[in-house]
Structure 1
Amino acid sequence: MPFLRRSSLAALSLAMAATVGAQEPVRKDPPRDYSAPAGAPYVAEEVTVTTPAGHTLAGTLTLPRGASRAAPVGAIVTITGSGPQDRDEALGLEGYRPFRQLADSLGRRGIAVLRMDDRGTGASKGTFRGATSADFAEDVRAGLAYLRTRPEIDARKLGVVGHSEGAVIAPMVAEKEPALAGIVLLAGVAQPARSALAFQLKNLYEHDTLLTVARRDSAIAAIPQRIEAMMAADPWMRFFLTHDPAATMRRVRTPVLILTGARDQQAAPEQVVEQEAAFRAGGNPDVTARVLPGLNHLFVVDADGFPGNYRKLPPPVMVQPEALGIVVDWLAARLR
């Protein structure tokens, strides 16, 4: 979920930002502390997951204390947004580690969480560059398969939580894993991401105070051609900009929670209505959808939601408690 930078040329290559970001060079971040906090009612275990493609993914499994073969617990796999992400989906904003927040909250409610570094990122093996959303979906399925091998995990109570691009990948996983007990889509889209990219680029140019009116209008008019050039250069971009999330959603019957912030300027809040409609059109009877006031694409309180201002957010930058609580309560009702 790379940042959308203010420079107009750099922004073109990064304009997908959290929802639909052009693939950046793979990061090799310094080691992070993934251990459980002192006194937590869960343990944090470092694990490796082998994928059908042959590479291994490094992850952390947070497991409630007392989970056992005799008393197995439900579990989720987290799915990061676009760009090479570590298992916490840390973005360089002080305090922002949304999947660690989620794992902690769920662990305290008796639900296990597997969060993994993206392929080729952090401690995971494999190659990130050139992989598509469909490839990442298979990595998530490998995580689910791993959970099914653990005697402490109840294989009947598994789910996934995806943020940004991860919210597009989650229905792809659910289509192939119809036994999942629930999926959560955070700041996703229903339309092919080409529409979201056009929305982001237009928003970027309209906020760029360095552009004259004439240059701004010219840049906006050239957006379709720029998108075509980006698609031609990148297999991931070609897949993601042409994949139709709504078509996949119509084939999914898994219970689903859809959340977006009202100030999200990367995945338009109106997409919540379209996502809900797509699931319901396919006959899904268990769909919950909400737009949360005052929150940006990161589910952080924000005055305007413009990604170029993320670094101005006061630290620590953390997922707003109401949003986190909605997700945790919804999952607890289905996985416990």
Structure 2
Amino acid sequence: MADTNFVDYVKIYARSGNGGPGSTHFRREKSEPKGGPDGGDGGRGGHIILVGNTQMWTLLHLKYRRHVFAGHGESGGKQCSSGADGEDVYLDVPLGTVAKDAETGETLFEITTDGESKILVQGGRGGLGNVHFKSATQQTPRFAQPGEPFVEGWFTLELKILADVGLVGFPSAGKSTLLSVVSAAKPKIADYPFTTLVPNIGIVSYRDNQSFVMADIPGIIEGAHEGKGLGLRFLRHIERNSMLLFMVPADAKDYRKEFGILMNELQQYNPELLDKDRFLVISKSDFLDDELKVEISEQLKDIPHLFISSITGQGIMQLKDKIWQILNK
């Protein structure tokens, strides 16, 4: 994903269409000059609809389309003919898009499957024509229903990445390198913090032509839940991961403390994140000899963990096996 192309939050103004008014027409023919009411119904106003598209991964296409308007329904006609419905507007969005009312913050719905469609703003209903109001005591109703008015408002669309595995760690923990090794993804990799500025996704091949999806989330720092660093903006992507893979580099000063800080940030942001399956890897382990690994394992004896190196390939296959076991338990 190019940094400039990844957009995971947009705010749009959406307005549906008015419903068309019903007709008050009366049938007038040479053989029947007083034929009675035959006014048709008005067409409904157009909806604004979100549609899931598995080929999309960003909301960039909506960033500059701040105002969206649906078509108005047309008036009913004679001979009980209904007016045409207003034109619906379909907005393709990536899977994992959450629609919210911008004023109240209320979550309206989430798009999670390809082709799934949900109405963001409903068009007004068309009014009934006068033919519906004819009765024994009202032979010539000279009125019809007006159409319902449009609905409008500001809405936010937030993208929460759908992935099987979410990588969680401090900047420079080796998350992007791991993703580049186990998948075809090409995240930006450099020897300075916050190299990753947007989430990256890769499909990891496994045994017997099976696979799972891994997401590299921009590095979290202590205080991310309070808005420090980049973490707060991207923590929501972790909410949709099936399991969390914590990464602490081999050159860390205190492995248990770093793992605890990461856990605390997730808990402060959303306590439900701690209900997810999780596993810890010590990355860059090609720096460690066997004696150091034993020492570290003693510190982490109550935390399931594995030593890996994305550079030498150490532990990578065992990690895939472990992830697959957790995802399919």
TM-score (norm 2): 0.29
- Greater fraction of residues in helix: 1
Q: Answer 1 or 2: higher relative contact order, Cα 8 Å, separation at least 6.
A: 1
TM-score (norm 1): 0.28
Over alpha carbons, which structure has the higher Rg? 2
